[in-house]
Amino acid sequence: MTASTSIAPITGQQLRDGVPSFSATVGRSGFIVLRKDELAGLLGDADLEAFRGAWENLAVDTQIDGGGTYRQRRYGRLRVEVDGDDVTFEALPNATFRQDVIPLWKGKNRVFEAVSDDVLLSAGMRALVGFDARMATALSGNTSWEIGVHLVRIIARSGVEGLPTPEGRHRDGHAYVGMHMLRRDGVTGGLSTVYPNDGGQVVQTTLLEPLDSMFVDDAMVTHEVSATVPEGVSGVRDMLLVDVNPAV
């Protein structure tokens, strides 16, 4: 990636609406499921379609255990500052990715192809990451965040399931995690299950439409997603996964 790039803040209604009540739900239960209609005001249709196009230029995730080729992925990093209604973004250089809290990935330095700066700082990325950062600030009071973004496509082919979470039930090892659906075409399955750590009711839901989302406090829940199965020859499930951690 090129040298870090900063851009002007985005402000206003698209980041303000819903955050207090949404974050209060996360504070009580450890997670919230948000449907398309609840987040539709974050960005316009043209910006959403442009952002979805970034999933057509992903690389095969070579870090899949066992050498599977059903996942494509790119990874990028952002520094995000929340100041009231203003959110600013700075692209950071790419880096290795570790998840030592997950036995499948413990001790492994995973390297993914980088997300380009123009995608990292696009309107779609800023809208969704900005929302997640504001949620995290509302929950914690912290205003400076280092954020990892994963553009992930799971491909289900005839006779080959796609595994959104090959690690099974897990926590991710971050402060908060945002999960945003961008595309779901030609597949069934992909059932998300959330397990509250306090023994509360297990919740199952399926993200179906673009902008259907989930936001979790990683210390309060574990989660997993079932395999996707093609309805025909093949199908895809495209997700933006956002790792939210306090900046150091």
Q: Assign residue 89 the CATH number of its domain.
A: 2.60.120.620
Residue 2 predicted with pLDDT over 60 = no
What is the pTM assigned to this prediction?
0.92
| Structural domain total, the chain | 1
At 107, is the pLDDT very low, low, confident or very high (cuts 50, 70, 90)?
confident
Residue 65 predicted with pLDDT over 80 = no
Which tens digits make up the pLDDT trace of 66-93? 667 899 999 999 999 999 888 999 999 9
Domain of 162 in residue numbering reads as 5-246
At 3, is the pLDDT very low, low, confident or very high (cuts 50, 70, 90)?
very low
Q: Give the residue among 228, 237, 226, 229 at the shortest CA–CA distance from 55.
A: 237
